């Protein structure tokens, strides 16, 4: 757990996080939840891939009052859950949800190819998959989603940056450390490892490289 002013941040494994602020509980990309989950006030989904839009895990935390924010490509699957409200979002859009400011930012690949011959990317920009800037109280937390280091990061200001580090589908530790140097958060936290691809060694390498670049970094322990 990471204690921040007005909010506690829990890493749930892979790209999943839970933010707890007083009576508000926000999940981002819950996947393979291992602990007894708390009901969600808000759920943010970055894109439609099974390890980010996991209907099995959403059923564990979604109630009739839960508000789900997600890109258009998730709507068909998520609508079956019948949450309290379902808010579509695209890169650049900003929403106020139960006192939380949620801004969607671009998340896409520049050099991670599903098919190198045709240069078909795993996460194309035109799909409008997203990352999020989540402002709770005094904190702005950037969840990058599945992305490479992209030019849009130069315009992002955040206190905490949650960055994927496993390579293959997302940034490598080296690429993520360079992204952290651009973002200049107060704290950088690695994610996207330990489930589908990537190991804690990737997270530790990211921490080492980010520290050398003058960025404070911390590897969170997965909630058990």
- pLDDT tens figures, 81-131: 888 899 999 999 999 999 999 999 999 999 998 888 898 999 999 999 999
- To the nearest 10°, report the CA torsion of 191, 178, 184, 106: -60
User: Number of C-alpha atoms within 13 angstroms, CB side, residue 215?
Assistant: 29
- Give CA–CA dist 35/54, Å, rounded: 16
Q: The domain containing residue 177 runs over which residues? A: 2-212
Helices (H), 7-103: 55-61, 75-78
Does residue 204 lie within any of the structural domains? Answer: yes
pLDDT tens digit sequence for 175-195:
999 999 999 999 999 999 999
Does residue 223 lie within any of the structural domains? Answer: no
CA nearest to 160, candidates 13, 19, 66: 19
Kindly state the average pLDDT of the residues 69-82: 93
Does residue 80 lie within any of the structural domains? Answer: yes
CATH number at residue 103: 3.60.15.10
Does residue 94 lie within any of the structural domains? Answer: yes
Does residue 217 lie within any of the structural domains? Answer: no
- 8-state DSSP, 74: G
8 A C-beta contact, residue 53 and residue 45: yes
Widest CA span of the chain, in angstroms? 50
8 A C-beta contact, residue 198 and residue 163: no
Residue 155's φ and ψ, nearest 5 degrees, are -100, 10
Residue 35 scores a pLDDT above 80: no
Sign of the dihedral through C-alpha 75, 125, 166, 113? positive
Does residue 199 lie within any of the structural domains? Answer: yes
- Give CA–CA dist 165/155, Å, rounded: 21
Does residue 17 lie within any of the structural domains? Answer: yes
Q: Residue 179 belongs to what H/E stretch? A: helix 173-183
Residue 96's φ and ψ, nearest 5 degrees, are -105, 120
- Give CA–CA dist 23/160, Å, rounded: 21
pLDDT tens digit sequence for 117-169:
898 999 999 999 999 999 998 899 999 999 999 999 999 999 999 999 999 99
Residue 36 scores a pLDDT above 80: no
Does residue 198 lie within any of the structural domains? Answer: yes
User: Number of C-alpha atoms within 13 angstroms, CB side, residue 148?
Assistant: 15
Burial class of 95 by CB neighbour count within 10 A (0 to 12, 13 to 18, 19+): middle
How many domains are contained in the chain? 1
CA nearest to 182, candidates 216, 153, 218, 207: 153
């Amino acid at each position: 757990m990471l204690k921040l002013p007005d909010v506690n941040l829990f890493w749930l494994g892979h790209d999943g996080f839970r933010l707890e602020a007083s009576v508000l509980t926000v999940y981002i990309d819950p996947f393979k939840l291992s602990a007894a989950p708390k009901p969600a006030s808000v759920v943010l989904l970055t894109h439609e891939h099974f390890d980010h839009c996991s209907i099995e895990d959403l059923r564990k935390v979604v109630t009739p009052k839960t508000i789900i924010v997600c890109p258009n490509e998730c709507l068909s699957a998520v609508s079956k859950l019948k949450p309290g409200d379902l808010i579509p979002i695209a890169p650049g859009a900003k929403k106020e949800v139960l006192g939380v400011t949620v801004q969607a930012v671009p998340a896409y690949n520049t050099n991670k190819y599903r098919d190198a011959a045709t240069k078909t990317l795993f996460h194309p920009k035109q799909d409008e998959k997203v990352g999020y800037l989540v402002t709770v109280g005094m904190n702005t937390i950037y969840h990058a989603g599945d992305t490479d280091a992209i030019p849009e990061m130069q315009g992002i200001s955040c206190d905490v940056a949650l960055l994927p580090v496993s390579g293959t589908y997302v940034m490598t530790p080296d690429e993520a450390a360079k992204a952290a140097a651009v973002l200049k958060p107060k704290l950088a936290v690695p994610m996207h490892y330990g489930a589908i691809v990537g190991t804690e060694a990737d997270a530790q390498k990211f921490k080492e490289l980010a520290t050398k670049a003058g960025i404070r970094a911390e590897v969170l322990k997965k909630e058990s």
